[in-house]
Structure 1
């Protein structure tokens, strides 16, 4: 993989794309993408957060082809708040999650379902 491809993979992951989605784009296995992201994180001495607070957020983002920036605009919430909310790196109030759900066109209760 080229440096540019690795940057693109990291960006897609931060934007909420799933491992299978990224793997399909690059014609590799999801395990390869997982190992690549872990290797990059280890080299940098940090961890790329891949969990989401509510899995339905990632599903809806992928289904609707929405990245973090677009979801922030649709939700009326800052980019960093949305990113923190979906990666579990920021504590968010329920009304913030309600705005995110609204931006995705789903109800808060739908988003909270596991």
Structure 2
């Protein structure tokens, strides 16, 4: 388990031994003095991490590649039951049409 910050084990062990040892006030004073030590802050430990800044930038997610477009699309005028695929596309309206409907689309697009 990786923690985002480092733990000073001496401070933890001193505080645990102080809480378990109820024998005298001297151990409590030692625990108090050891717990007053400064622990490293999150910002200081992040700069000292294993990876330099250049590698952190490389670890960012790269954008996913665009979806591959299929060269053949369904004719817009044929019923879906026929499922006619074609490569012909009208340059004006950018609709895909099969050979059967290409003359019809040509007449409609030229009139507009």
Q: What range describes the TM-score normalised by the shorter chain of this pair?
A: under 0.3
The answer to which structure has the higher helix fraction is: 1
TM-score by length of 1: 0.18
Q: Which has the higher contact order (CA 8 A, sep 6+)?
A: 1
Q: Which has the larger radius of gyration?
A: 2
